[in-house]
Every structure is written in C-alpha cells, then in structure tokens.
Amino acid sequence: MALHSQDIAWFSWGALRGYPARTLLMLIAMAIGVSAVVVLTSLGEGARLYVMDRFASLGTNLIIVFPGRSETAGINPTTMMGETPRDLTLNDALALTRSYNVRRITPINVGSADVSYLSRSREVVVLGASHEMLAIRHWELAQGKFLPAMDLDRASPVTVIGSKIRDELFGAERALGKWIRIGDRRFRVIGVMGSEGRSIGVDVQETIMIPIASAQQIFNTSSVFRILVEAKTREAIEPVKQFIIDTLQQRHQGKKDVTVITQDAVLETFDRILGALTYAVGGIAAISLAVAGILIMNVMLVAVSQRTAEIGLLKALGASPRQIIVLILAEAFLLSSLGAIAGYLLGQLGSWSIRYAFPDLPAYAPAWAVVIALVVAVITGLVFSLMPARRAARLDPVLALSGR
Amino acid sequence: MLPVVILKDDDVIMIELAEIHRDFLVGDQVVHALDDVTLTIESGEYVSIMGPSGSGKSTLLNLLGLLDRPTSGVYRLNGKDVTSLSDIEQAQVRNREIGFVFQMFHLVPRLTAAENVELPLILAGMPPEQRKPKVANVLDDLGLTDRSHHKPEQLSGGQRQRVAIARATVTEPNVILADEPTGNLDHKSGTDVIRILEQLNERGITLIMVTHDPEMGQRAWRQLRMIDGCMHSDHSNDDQINPDHGAS
C-alpha cells in the first residue's frame, strides 16, 4: 500500500493550510534561521572581498624591497653590532630590471614638503617615483599626463598632483601647465590624479608626485626609501624574490641587508583570517537553524496531539504506521522547504540591502553557504519531526478516536 | 409476504471469536473488559450489540475492527487468524474488509465530503482516475452528490453521518462496524441513517452495530446483550422479519 506522491503532497498541503497560525510560526522560524546564515555569510564574504580588493589595489604580483633585515629574521651580527644597514640606491633599482621575470620597477622616496601656488601653500606628502608607478599601483589619471618615461637619475621639474591638492591650490582655476613651488624648487603641473586611487597607506588625492631624482634633491639624499617590483606572473614572484636577494647581495659586498616582502604573503594571511571569520559567523547563524529545528519538533508534537483524532481515524481507515510517519514527515518536509525558500529570499533581500547601504561591500552570500543552509534546514526539519511522527504512528487508535 | 432477503451461500462464517479476553490495567487493578467471549457471526448478518455502558460492547467492536488486540483468545476473520498479523497487515485488512461508522462521525474538518470519502482509497494507494468514479458513485447512492464539495461544518448531523457511511462503504468492505451511529443524531436523521445501513446489509454487507438504544437494537435480526464483559444473551429474530426492515 504505497501512497501516491501527489496524494502525500495534497494531504500535507491541506494539513498545513488547515492550521495557518502554526504553519506561519514554523515558516518564520525556518526563514529566520536560513536568512541569518545567508546574510551573515554574505557579510563575512563581503568583508573578505573588500579587504582583498583593497590590498590588490596596492598592486598585483607586487614585491616590496626595503633596506635592512626585518626584525622577524631574528638576531644576527648586524643587529648585535648596531650597524646601520646599507641604503638602497637608484643603481640598485636599475639592477633589478635585469630579469626576464620582472615586468616593471619603481624606486620611491616619500617625504613631506611645503607646496605653494601664489599665496596659497600647505604641507603635502611628496612622493618621488618613476613613470612606472602609475601602472604598478593601478592608479588612474584625471587630467594630463603622468611622469614621463626617462632615466631614473634625471631630475625633471614636472609634477602630478592629487585632486584634493589641485582643489586646494587652484580652486576652480586650471591647474595643468601652472608652475608650483615644492620646497625651494619650481615644478610644472603636468597631470592630476583621479579620485579613485585610494589605497591602503597612501591617499593619492592628497599626494604630489615628482620624478625620483627630483625627490632626492628636495630631501637631500642619495638613497631610496623603497623599491617596488612587479613580477610578470604570480608564479614568477618567488624566482623574482630570489633574484632580488641575490642581486642586491652581490651589489652590497655579499651582505644580505635588504628585506623583501610580497603582497601575496600579506594577502594570504588576510584571506585566511577573513575566510575563517565567514565560517565562524556562518556557524553562529547555523545555531539559529538548530533552534528552528527544535521549534519544528515542538510544533509537530503539538500538531500530532492536536490531530490525535484524525490520526486515529486514518488508522481505522487502514493507514499503516509507515504511512502515518510518511504523512507527518512530508508535512515537515514541505514546511521546512517552504521556510528555507522564504529564508533564502529574505536573506538575499538582506544582503541586497547591505550592498545598497554600503556599495563598497560586495556582500554576496557564497554558494556553499546557501546550499548548506538550505540542506541543513530541510534535514533538521525532517530529523526533528521523526520523533513526533513515530509518536503519531504509535498512537492507540481506540484512545485516539475516543478523544481521550 | 415473502422474505425480501436474498439468501446467499448460506452459513459462511465470517467472524469467529474464541475465548477472547481483553484486560485493562487501571491503576493496579485489572479490569476484564471482555471475559471469555466466544462468538460466531455469519456473512450477511445484521447484529446489534447492546448493554449498559462499561459492559465491553465498544471494546468488542474495536477488537472486531482490529483497532485493538485481545489479551488472549483467537479471532478469525473469513477463516484467517488475524490476531497474529503484523500492524501493517492489520492495517490492510482494516482498509479492505472493514468499514467503520462512528458516533462522532470523525470526518476530517478541512476536507470536503468527497475528499473525506476518498481517504480510504488514497490510503489503499489507488490511482486518482480510479478513485473519482467510485467516490461519485457512493455519494450518489447516498444522495450526497450536491453536497460533495461541502466541508463537514456545512453539513447537518445526518448528512455528516451519511458522508461517514459513504467513506465506510467506498472500499466495498464485507463488514460495517457501527459504534452508536445514531447517538449524536435526532430521531428522524437517526432513523434515516439506520435505514441506509440496513439497505447496505440487504445488499449483503455484514452489519454489526453497537447501541444502547433498545428501539434501534431491536431492529437487528440478531441481538447480543453484554453485561460485565460477558455475552449475556444471544437472541435471533429467526422466525420473523422485522416489519420496518421488510418495508424499507
């Protein structure tokens, strides 16, 4: 005596519609559980993508070289003797271009200087770099041109200014072609940075860029603060790193006195931390699913006792214990599926609202979280209904029918 | 006047109870709801079971309907020992061979009359296209066609009991067990319901009815009287046909 599946569906649907308050209550419980998972994981995932994106805007396949051994290398003779590490120079930077795997490099110097135009002046972060800086950092120009391609040691009097500096110095006036004073030198404005170029560490809008050699003159130094190296591919990062260490060791009389860090290492760490965070909030949200499951068990128990007479009748009409279990479970399945779907829609609406409120945050629930939330919802619904279903199947029809 | 009852292959024993006991434990006292009941009912009989409340008549009916199992004794239905069947097999027997009519009607409130009648066929796993004509037939038989899409709450007591009878007969059972079928009805609808049940009996369905209304009980050919779980008397109207019954 196998029930037809459409009959099971019809009967369960009827039972759900017969008790709208109970059905609504369970739907809400399930929906809250599922939507909590969807919204929270989308938040976590959004945060992860946001941070990754910010880091990626520092540059892709980027390797940063700076003078001195990093402290994490532990104690070595240099630190013991208090010796100052050898500076990096423009020639060091030039030497790093001699690898097939290196796409582009730029040495940089950073300092602050007074910048003035006519009577207006302010102190500004001045960045010395080569023309490659724009491509390495994925920055965009709003107007004019970037620093021209030329020899690193040529101190050309040109500058590219951030949009905020432009507004402050020139107001509504046209900035391109004007001469401004940086420190005690005069530079011609040849470009304005776009406003998008905000990345961790540097606010491009409030920066002024000049050729590296000019920066060395202004800050009166022959050294270089950092060298940024972009490898051709992700796979090339390790070889390039080794190449940099070897080359600079040769140039520095055999001393390993530079530190080389890669963007990837930092990125990976953040990726791991934020990924774990997503799992964690997802797990916390899953607790609400379990709570929903327990609620389903309660409500199904109530449903069984509410419908004792009906179950007794079904037995009298020839329903086997199995059929009773199937009918109760079908009801729970229908209920938790509908709840899960409602929760999914609610959750998508929630993450849409987050994206609407914070356009920078790519808050999309990851597919795995959605699938798990839906599957767990349906399974908890079924598992927690097993006990009520068994109880219904065991009901004594005589007692059930007499309403005792 | 000739008897209108058509005699079939007579003396086919349908129900055979042998030394049936049914004990209940109430607190720490054993109550003998059925105390050594032995009974034979032939196919096509019209039996009423009467007795004061607590005499065990409902327990007997539940046992006959396989809703309850005896503490000891043997119950054969159509020659087959049904006391030893599994739950699933008993459910099948209930579905195919027994129709129940209850005092409280026991219709599912959210289902229409037709859907209530359809229920046993659904449980039997019959495909929908075979069910619909059967349901329509039975409802038509009982004059309920225009009520088939009404919910129980929209029906009168007598109509509800007729729907319940339709549900009991749609599987074409051999026996109908009626537990105080008129208990919740006024006199007129009660009489209507009894007539319908008697008409079914005339078509050959065995009718066993529990009642404490002597007027109803005496309409049956055979009247069992129970007291304190024992069969007190077994009286048959063999010599005469109930005038009401004959006229109907």
Query: For the stretch B174-200, what's the b/e string if a residue is b when 16 or more beta carbons lie within 10 angstroms of its beta carbon?
Result: bbbbbbbbbbbbeeebbbbbbebbbeb
Q: How large a percentage of chain B has pLDDT more than 90? A: 63
Among A149-158, A211-220, A298-307, B84-93, which stretch is predicted with the lowest mean pLDDT?
A298-307
Give pLDDT, residue B6: 47
3-state secondary structure chain A: CCCCHHHHHHHHHHHHHHCHHHHHHHHHHHHHHHHHHHHHHHHHHHHHHHHHHHHHCCCCCEEEEEECCCHHHCCCHHHHHCCCCCCECHHHHHHCCCCCCEEEEEEEEEEEEEEEECCEEEEEEEEEECCCHHHHCCCCEEEECCCCCCCCCCCCCEEEECHHHHHHHHCCCCCCCCEEEECCEEEEEEEEECCCCEECCEEHHHEEEEEHHHHHHHCCCCCECEEEEEECCCCCHHHHHHHHHHHHHHHCCCCCCEEEEEHHHHHHHHHHHHHHHHHHHHHHHHHHHHHHHHHHHHHHHHHHHHCHHHHHHHHHCCCCHHHHHHHHHHHHHHHHHHHHHHHHHHHHHHHHHHHHHCCCCCCCCCHHHHHHHHHHHHHHHHHHHHHHHHHHHHCCHHHHHHCC
Question: Is A354's pLDDT higher than 70?
Answer: yes
Distance CA B32, CA B30 (A): 6
- B128 contacts chain A (CB < 8 A): yes
Give pLDDT, residue A325: 92
Give pLDDT, residue A83: 52
- B219 contacts chain A (CB < 8 A): no
- B213 contacts chain A (CB < 8 A): no
Residue B122, SS3 per DSSP: helix
Give pLDDT, residue A282: 82
Among A85-89, A97-101, A166-170, B108-112, which stretch is predicted with the lowest mean pLDDT?
A85-89
Give pLDDT, residue A195: 67
> Chains A and B: how many Cβ contacts under 8 Å?
80
Q: How large a percentage of chain B has pLDDT more than 70? A: 91
Give pLDDT, residue B134: 92
Give pLDDT, residue A26: 83
Q: Where are the beta strands (DSSP E) in A43-129?
A: 62-67, 102-117, 120-129
Q: How confident is the model at residue A84 (pLDDT cuts 50, 70, 90)?
A: low
Which DSSP category does B107 fall into? -
The chain A residue lying nearest B109, using CA atoms, is A18
How many angstroms away from the CA of B237 is the closest CA of chain A? 31
Give pLDDT, residue B200: 92
Give pLDDT, residue B12: 84
Question: Is A45's pLDDT higher than 90?
Answer: no
Calculate helix-pair angle for B113-123, B157-169, nearest 10 degrees: 20
Distance CA B201, CA B208 (A): 10
Distance CA B65, CA B106 (A): 16
CB interface of A with B, residues 2-41, below 8 Å: 2-4, 6-7, 11, 14-15, 17-18
CB contact under 8 A, B94 and A4: no
Residue B87, SS3 per DSSP: helix
Give pLDDT, residue A196: 61
Give pLDDT, residue A202: 64
Give pLDDT, residue B163: 94
Distance CA A257, CA A240 (A): 17
- Span A193-222, mean pLDDT? 80
CB A374 within 8 A of CB A344: yes
Distance CA A72, CA B133 (A): 86
Q: How confident is the model at residue B1 (pLDDT cuts 50, 70, 90)?
A: very low
Question: Is A342's pLDDT higher than 90?
Answer: yes
Which DSSP category does A170 fall into? H
Question: Is B70's pLDDT higher than 50?
Answer: yes
Q: Chain B contacts of A316, Cβ < 8 Å?
A: 65, 67, 94, 100, 106
Of all residues in chain A, what percent are helix, strand and coil, respectively (each to 5)? 55, 20, 25
3-state secondary structure B166-183: HHHHCCCCCEEEEECCCC
CB-CB: which of A1, A15, A403 is closest to B125?
Answer: A1
Write down the ipTM of this complex: 0.86
Residue that the structure tokens 């004059």 belong to: B143
Give pLDDT, residue B242: 46
Instruction: Tell me which residue of A265, A267, A248, A264 sits closest to A256, measured CA to CA.
Output: A248
**Residue B206, token pair as written in the block:** 């065995």
- B96 contacts chain A (CB < 8 A): yes
Give pLDDT, residue B71: 92
- Span A370-380, mean pLDDT? 89
Give pLDDT, residue B247: 37
Distance CA A149, CA A229 (A): 17
CB contact under 8 A, A398 and B102: no
More reliable by pLDDT, A263 or A348: A348
Q: How large a percentage of chain A has pLDDT more than 70? A: 92
Which DSSP category does B78 fall into? T
Residue that the structure tokens 């039997």 belong to: B124
Give pLDDT, residue A51: 81
- B123 contacts chain A (CB < 8 A): yes
- Span A306-311, mean pLDDT? 86
Question: Is A57's pLDDT higher than 60?
Answer: yes
CB interface of A with B, residues 295-324, below 8 Å: 309-310, 312-323
Parallel, antiparallel or unpaired: strands A120-129 and A102-117: antiparallel
Q: How confident is the model at residue B112 (pLDDT cuts 50, 70, 90)?
A: very high
CB-CB: which of A6, A14, A314 is closest to B110?
Answer: A14
- Span A360-375, mean pLDDT? 88
Domains and CATH numbers, chain B: 13-247 (3.40.50.300)
CB B55 within 8 A of CB B217: no
Instruction: Tell me which residue of A206, A202, A220 sits closest to A167, measured CA to CA.
Output: A206
The chain A residue lying nearest B68, using CA atoms, is A398
Q: How confident is the model at residue A398 (pLDDT cuts 50, 70, 90)?
A: confident
Q: How confident is the model at residue A107 (pLDDT cuts 50, 70, 90)?
A: very high
Give pLDDT, residue A215: 92
Among A70-84, A249-263, B24-38, B184-198, which stretch is predicted with the lowest mean pLDDT?
A70-84
User: What are the start-end ranges of the H helices in A19-132?
Assistant: 20-56, 77-81, 90-95
